[in-house]
Structure 1
Amino acid sequence: MFDLRYHVASLAAVFVALLLGIFVGVGLSGKGFVSDAERENLQAQIDALRSERDSAAAQAAGADRRGVELDDFAKTTYPQLVSGMLEGKNVGVVFIGSVDQGLANTVRRSVDDAGGRVALVRALRVPLDAEAVDAALRAEPETRGLAGIDNRERLGRELARELITAGPNPVFDRLARVIVEEQSGAAGRALDAVVVARQAPPQEGETQELLAGLYSGLAAAPVPTVGVAKSNAKTTAIPVFHQRGLATVDGVDEVASQLALVFLLAGARAGSYGVGNDATDGIIPDPPPAPPVASKG
């Protein structure tokens, strides 16, 4: 719906510019510089532009109405649709950069509504302090092999593995003071799904390589991982998440997108969903398959 609005605005600007041209042309015609045929051609262009502008405006108004209707439908049906979908599931939330409390609350509320719980929140500090990272890794034989500029993507994949698995987390333990800006929840708990949000601007160099490994590692994990962004974000990581194989939800601050988030965390087919411009697969995925009912006796 936003593209239509921009289209109408651009048409209006062109229309004004063309009118100014006509006025100039009319002035020149009085001096014999513009023929009757040229004036008729310019008038035909104005009439065509008016028609295109009015058509686009009507489409934009219709899209707005459909958007309102979708919001109303989502708000009405959301509680029933998500109820129990994440029952007993532990969900982790990873921020690249500082925690966005509004976004964190939105994710937590969506998970709670579906019967799950946000068991872990980590905010990773970027850009990477390469020297501090390597010094920490080389301090222990168990993590020494991950040090060095050539191992950044591999390090990111290892961080992804430790995020979702229970048991020892030697890499995170060594790097906690270096790369973790903020955290809550007990580490070492197996996660059933992960949400990723990038609050920091796009990164370069070694930090970019580490994040590429992190995203790819999460995408390859045996649990659903969803990259999210708010609709009013200054920069969005949705295309990067999608490129690295993550399911995504754009405009997660909208109710329809929150429904998409719950569906994806519950195992719906991965894709790019939501209400934002980067939601290339639609607003909401098909619901995930219902879990099998245990037989009695």
Structure 2
Amino acid sequence: MFDLRYHVASLAAVFVALILGIFVGVGLSGKGFVSDAERENLQASIDALRAERDAAVARVQNADRRGEALDDFADSTYPDLVAGLLEGKTVGVVFVGSVDQGVAGAIRRTVADSGGRVALTRALRVPLDSEAVDSALRAEPDTRELVGVDNRERLGRELARELVTGGPNTVFDEVDRVLVEEQSGSSTVPLDAVVVARPASPQQGETQSLLTGLYSGLAAAPVPTVGVEKSEAAGSAIAAFHRRGLATVDGIDQAPGQVALAFLLAGARPGSYGIDDGATDGVLPDRPLVTTAREE
């Protein structure tokens, strides 16, 4: 899996070689089409292309074997790498759009394997129903100042603050019915870390402004916050997360991504990690130093 881009490049070389070989072969098929000397040169070119094709096939096979070996290594070392990193920690998970069960399961396993627990999961309904949200906010004096298109980013920041602190949930209590699609766990528990995933397509207008405030608010919170997505996700959210200050991990459905997530939630240096092009800081951050209180 670590050699995916090289794998694709090798496959491309194979197909190019095959196509060129076919066209050149067609040109040679007619007698008298080229001179003997030219035919010899073209035949040499075909032989060279065939050699390159065979070498490319061999590279692909070697890359597959190396990728499988690296995946096996990551799977076998994963439990030891993450053990105890989140001991006693509470983690919140926010989905923008409907819950992706595969991503949710990977997050829960990673947190549990690291000694922590997912205390809250919320899925936000997008795109925003502007009229319904404003109507809900007008219901209470404490939330009326958040009404209106110009306050969407501020609303997102308030939602981020309430999510992390665990209450009082003044804003969430008012907009829950129109903004929250699904929720599990307790919203009154302070969180030690937050994970964000965006199964929904990229948003625009008021919804985009709300999400800008949400991501920025979470990034400014005094706890680790990480944006994640699975491998080969359609409409990647990594760039949007990164622009708003969140640490990011792609490939959360694979062992390397799960290790990176555990490291970041435990306090590793924020950055953009994974195996895709957006992972500008490498596959994994350095493992954080986790200390435990000495028993007396």
Report deviation, 1:287: 0.2
What is the alpha-carbon root mean square deviation over aligned residues?
2.2
* Counterpart residue type for residue 6 of structure 1: V
Aligned to 1:202: 202
Report deviation, 1:58: 3.6
2:6 is the counterpart of 1:4: yes
Contact 1:224–1:264 (8 Å) recurs in 2: yes
**What is the percent sequence identity of the aligned residues?**
64
Match of 1:18 among 17, 20, 23: 20
* Counterpart residue type for residue 244 of structure 2: R
In structure 2, do the counterparts of structure 1 residues 223 and 45 end up closer, same or farther at CA, with 3 Å as the change threshold?
Answer: farther
* Counterpart residue type for residue 148 of structure 1: G
Report deviation, 1:44: 5.4
CA distance in 1, matches of 2:143, 2:121: 23
- Indicate the larger mover: 17-26 or 163-172: 17-26
2:116 is the counterpart of 1:116: yes
Contact 2:7–2:63 (8 Å) recurs in 1: no
In structure 2, do the counterparts of structure 1 residues 54 and 268 end up closer, same or farther at CA, with 3 Å as the change threshold?
Answer: farther
* Counterpart residue type for residue 249 of structure 1: V
Contact 2:21–2:49 (8 Å) recurs in 1: no
SS in 2 for 1:99: coil
- Indicate the larger mover: 270-279 or 114-123: 270-279
In structure 2, do the counterparts of structure 1 residues 90 and 41 end up closer, same or farther at CA, with 3 Å as the change threshold?
Answer: same
In structure 2, do the counterparts of structure 1 residues 36 and 245 end up closer, same or farther at CA, with 3 Å as the change threshold?
Answer: farther
CA distance in 1, matches of 2:126, 2:97: 6
| TM-score normalised by the chain length of structure 1 | 0.90
Instruction: Spell out, residue by residue over 1:174-200, the C-alpha distance to the aligned partner (whole angstroms, 9 max, x if none).
Output: 100010000011112210000111111
In structure 2, do the counterparts of structure 1 residues 171 and 134 end up closer, same or farther at CA, with 3 Å as the change threshold?
Answer: same
Structure 1 unaligned runs (5+)? none
Give the paired residue count. 294
In structure 2, do the counterparts of structure 1 residues 66 and 17 end up closer, same or farther at CA, with 3 Å as the change threshold?
Answer: closer
Report deviation, 1:22: 1.3
In structure 2, do the counterparts of structure 1 residues 16 and 64 end up closer, same or farther at CA, with 3 Å as the change threshold?
Answer: closer
Structure 2 unaligned runs (5+)? none
In structure 2, do the counterparts of structure 1 residues 239 and 29 end up closer, same or farther at CA, with 3 Å as the change threshold?
Answer: farther
Contact 1:4–1:56 (8 Å) recurs in 2: no
CA distance in 2, matches of 1:87, 1:203: 36
CA distance in 2, matches of 1:50, 1:213: 56
* Counterpart residue type for residue 30 of structure 1: G
Contact 2:97–2:123 (8 Å) recurs in 1: yes
CA distance in 2, matches of 1:262, 1:18: 48
In structure 2, do the counterparts of structure 1 residues 13 and 79 end up closer, same or farther at CA, with 3 Å as the change threshold?
Answer: closer
| TM-score normalised by the chain length of structure 2 | 0.90
SS in 1 for 2:141: coil
* Counterpart residue type for residue 16 of structure 1: L
The residue correspondences of 1:270-289 to structure 2 (distance < 5 A) are: 270-289=270-289
